[in-house]
């Protein structure tokens, strides 16, 4: 009777993942950020792999590390292997009809646009389980599969996307206590301008659009790494925020924020919902997506 030979012994899967990420990223630090571990952990995993192999796969340089030629040659096959493994696991996960609907979103969208809709969503679909991940960039569907991803995009709608019905826009907003002291653009010179770090140029863009006074420095004022922090500062009366209509609409509606100047500058980018491919979509993906974008 023929005996099937055993599969060859493999090194630690974690070590291989660290090696693949570090070689692809060209950095232990970037690999650690991608894998959600420390750079020290990546270094340790690489060392374990080198001990198992019996030779180094990275050259240690004064300014960082550099993969060897052997590492570069192995990278494409390892990347394909991990992508295939991820797709197989995702397929197994998707086979469970009661799995959670997974949503990825820009942090400010997750906090200020999606979160207020969750209560009504749970009321409409009480049995639906939802998992939300906040991230700065749209997920790579090969490595971070999500049923829905919500980000700002300025491109035309693709077949796998849904766009908000109206373009987004920016306009100054502040607490009512400040709004009563702002009657003209010139009055902004005496106010604290609040900035989101990513969209720090929005004040300059809007002032140019509105024909603002040259006496107003659009770069003046504190900058916040999270839009929600800048919004909290505006709500507390600490300054005037260049607001994104899609994120501050409910605060304007309930009067917690006032727009001293109703002149809104339209933006090219629009709130866009990216759908997972139909073959691995959650059973309720299309229904939830249509409801969110209605």
Other CB atoms within a 10 A radius of the CB of residue 75 amount to 16
Element containing residue 14 per DSSP (H, E): helix 13-25
Q: What is the pLDDT of residue 141?
A: 65
Q: What is the pLDDT of residue 1?
A: 45
- 138 is written with which tokens? 């749209």
Residues belonging to the chain: 294
Q: What is the pLDDT of residue 165?
A: 80
CA atoms within 13 A on the CB side of 274: 18
CA distances from 231 to 53, 58, 73, 174, 240 (A): 53, 45, 49, 9, 9
Name the fold adopted by 13-94.
Arc Repressor Mutant, subunit A (1.10.10)
Q: What is the pLDDT of residue 12?
A: 87
Question: Would strands 270-275 and 148-153 be described as parallel, antiparallel, or unpaired?
Answer: antiparallel
Per-residue pLDDT tens digits of the chain, which is 294 residues long: 455 666 668 888 899 999 999 999 989 999 999 888 999 999 999 999 999 999 999 998 888 889 999 999 999 999 888 877 776 766 666 555 568 899 999 999 999 999 999 999 999 999 889 999 999 888 876 667 788 999 998 766 666 888 888 889 999 999 999 999 998 898 999 899 999 999 999 999 999 999 876 788 999 999 999 999 999 999 999 999 999 999 999 999 999 999 999 899 999 888 999 888 777 778 888 899 999 988
pTM of the model: 0.69
Name the fold adopted by 169-266.
D-Maltodextrin-Binding Protein; domain 2 (3.40.190)
Residue range(s) of every CATH 3.40.190.10 domain in the chain: 101-167+270-293, 169-266
CA distances from 147 to 136, 141, 156 (A): 17, 10, 21
The C-alpha atoms of residue 285 and residue 4 are separated, in whole angstroms, by 44
The C-alpha atoms of residue 12 and residue 18 are separated, in whole angstroms, by 10
The C-alpha atoms of residue 220 and residue 211 are separated, in whole angstroms, by 18
The C-alpha atoms of residue 294 and residue 292 are separated, in whole angstroms, by 6
Instruction: Name the CATH architecture for the domain at 101-167+270-293.
Output: 3-Layer(aba) Sandwich (3.40)
Q: What is the pLDDT of residue 178?
A: 94
H helices present in 57-166, as ranges: 69-94, 107-109, 115-124
The C-alpha atoms of residue 197 and residue 75 are separated, in whole angstroms, by 36
């Amino acid at each position: 009777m023929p005996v099937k030979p055993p599969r060859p012994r493999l090194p630690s899967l974690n070590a291989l993942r660290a090696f693949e990420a570090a070689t692809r990223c060209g950095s232990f630090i970037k690999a650690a950020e991608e894998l959600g571990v420390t750079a020290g952990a990546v270094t340790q995993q690489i060392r374990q792999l080198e001990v198992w192999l019996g030779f180094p796969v990275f050259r240690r340089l004064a300014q960082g590390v550099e993969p060897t030629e052997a590492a570069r040659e192995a990278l494409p096959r390892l990347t394909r292997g991990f992508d295939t493994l991820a797709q197989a696991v995702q397929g197994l996960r998707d086979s469970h009809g009661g799995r959670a609907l997974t949503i990825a979103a820009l942090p400010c969208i997750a906090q200020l646009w999606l979160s207020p809709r969750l209560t009504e969503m749970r009321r409409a679909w009480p049995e639906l389980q939802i998992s939300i991940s906040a991230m700065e960039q749209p997920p790579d569907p090969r490595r971070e599969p999500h049923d829905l991803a919500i980000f700002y995009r300025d491109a035309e709608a693709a077949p796998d996307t849904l766009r908000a019905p109206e373009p987004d826009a920016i306009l100054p907003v502040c607490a009512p206590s400040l709004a009563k002291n702002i009657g003209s653009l010139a009055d902004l010179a005496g106010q604290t301008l609040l900035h989101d770090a990513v969209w720090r140029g929005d004040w300059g863009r809007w002032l140019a659009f509105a024909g603002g006074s040259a006496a107003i420095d659009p770069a003046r004022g504190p900058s916040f790494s999270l839009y929600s922090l800048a919004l909290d500062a505006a709500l507390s009366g600490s300054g005037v925020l260049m607001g994104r209509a899609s994120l501050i609409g409910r605060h304007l509606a309930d009067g917690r924020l006032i727009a001293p100047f109703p002149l809104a500058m339209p933006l090219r980018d629009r709130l866009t919902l990216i759908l997972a491919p139909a073959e691995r979509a959650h059973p309720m993906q299309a229904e939830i997506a249509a409801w969110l974008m209605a």
